[in-house]
Chain A
Amino acid sequence: MSGILASMIDGLLIGSVYGLAAMGLSLIWGVMDVINLTHGAVIALGMFGMYILFAAFPVNAYLLLLPVIAAGLLLGLLIYWIAVHWVIGRSQLSSLLSTFAVNMMIIGIGTAIWSTSPYNVNFTLRGITVGAYTFDGNHLAAAGAAVIIGLALELFLYRTRPGKAIRAVADNREAAELMGISSTMVLALAFAIGIALAASSGALVSTLFPFTILSGAGYQMKSFVVTVLAGLGKPLGALVAGVLLGLLEGAVTPFIAVSWIPLIEFGLFVVVLVAFPKGIFARATA
């Protein structure tokens, strides 16, 4: 029994990292109706970003999250101006294709530099032992960092001027412009934040598991499941839904082969899409 419990706690910790990744996808989707298919590639870049930074500065890897986030913001602005700005307001297929193109470019460049062989970040925090079980230090730290970043985003969106501008544009772009908000600036900012969230989640994953330039794809898929669970454009809901998905994984892992997990997750994805199209946290209001 304690095995399941431990597995579920581990799932919960990893789930918060899934949630952080999904927050990025959800924010971009909610604010500008763009399904960002660079998401997975950016998660992978976050992993390699952490790898490069840790090789250069072998300090506590979790401190290196700050430069990863900063680089993620810049990368986000760059991707926005290259591939997103021009297709805003067009059909979702346009942005789907343009972000997919950027995704392929990143993967291509990444493969040229790092090939597709696995890398890892050689940093270990001491775990915490409770009774018979030791919780992995890195898992605890990654989950803590994910929750802190997630809550910081929530505070930013609700308690600051630029955050309110992002919510106003997400709500009604035309009304926001009449109120003096430059929607172009706001969209660029929201996209940059979404990319920075994806990169930071990748950086956290790199401290837990080995990775390749292709590793982002699996996390992108999980982000879709989490975003649909939470409902579009609800970043904090995405964090909670990520934790739930992690818990689910933790609960089933002791009983079945890992290869079955995607089947379960995407089965859930379909069920939620059909039964709760607005997400499991949708209020009953019209």
Chain B
Amino acid sequence: MTPLLEVSGVSKRFGGLQAVSDVSFSLGEREILGLIGPNGAGKTTLFNVVNGVYKADKGTIKFAGEDITNRPPNEVVHLGLARTHQIVKPLQDMTVLENVTVGACFGREYLALQPARKVALEVLERVGLAKSAEMSARSLTIAGKKRLEVARALAAHPKLLLLDEVLAGLNPTEITYMIGIVRDIRDSGISVFMIEHVMQAIMSLSDRLVVLSFGQKLAEGHPEEVARDPQVIEAYLGDPDIAEKLKEND
């Protein structure tokens, strides 16, 4: 079976900084792939290259059998690759429902307003924001805004969802809730590619992990294998407890 997403030899340089260097990996249908690595490892840059925010200097990205290298983000969404942002970007002047409706309108299916609204209501129900539908997006809490990001991306009916630190800044209860949402997304047949710093969560959620360090792929595999990989442990040495944290989940 051909993978849903196939990244081959992708590099991205900013001036003197090689942010992503010759990274290759693939992601299958209904798979949750985690992307971890120390701060500044190039995780978000890799996301930005995959969904076309940045142009790759080298390498190719194939999605659902199509070459999407350097296609702009708005076109990639129509093919079924949606994304949330690390720093939440709600459309401030719109209601929560309107935000998600816009996501559905311009997603994979180009829905008209009425069906888009229906999809939006379903998605809000799924992420537990139904009660806030008529609130202004700017008045949501951080946890609410993170869920809104997910809802907006989900409303596009993606085949693959890129989640950039959806757990950051959440309290333990909210994290548990969000993990439930991510599992539910995968169970509905959508693949997930996620960046996360909350280790316990990413270890338990991911089917496989890719580890980046200084822009290079350090390791790839089952979370338990990756956690034992001496190179990975070394990469995290800036944070001496990380090896212990990784092992806690064995």
Contacts and interface: CB of A to CB of B under 8 A. Distances in A.
B79 to A, nearest CB: 10
B247 interface: no
A168 interface: yes
Nearest to A233: B93
B85 A175 contact: yes
A179 B112 contact: no
B18 to A, nearest CB: 24
A168 B113 contact: no
Interface string A195-222: 0000000000000000000000000000
Interface residues on A, range: 20 to 34
A272 interface: no
B231 to A, nearest CB: 33
A177 B51 CA distance: 11
A159 B117 CA distance: 12
Contacts of A183: 74
Contacts of B73: 177-178
Q: Most chain-A Cβ atoms within 10 A of its Cβ — which of B112, B113, B138?
A: B113
Contacts of A165: 102, 105-106
Interface in A238-252: none
A285 B139 CA distance: 10
A180 B156 contact: yes
A233 B101 CA distance: 22
B72 interface: yes
A182 B116 CA distance: 18
Contact of B156 (A174, A175, A179): A179
B98 A175 contact: no
A167 B93 CA distance: 9
A70 interface: no
Given A179-B77, A179-B102, A159 B113 contact: yes
A161 interface: yes
Nearest to A171: B91
Given A160-B113, A175-B89, A182 B74 contact: yes
Interface string B111-133: 01100100000000000000000
Interface of B: 51, 72-75, 77-78, 82-83, 85, 89-94, 98, 101-103, 105-107, 112-113, 116, 138, 152-153, 156
14 contacts: A164-B98, A164-B102, A165-B102, A167-B94, A168-B102, A171-B91, A171-B92, A172-B90, A175-B90, A176-B74, A176-B102, A178-B73, A179-B156, A180-B77
Given A176-B102, A178-B77, 11 more contacts: A160-B113, A164-B113, A168-B94, A171-B93, A172-B89, A175-B91, A176-B74, A178-B74, A179-B102, A180-B107, A182-B72
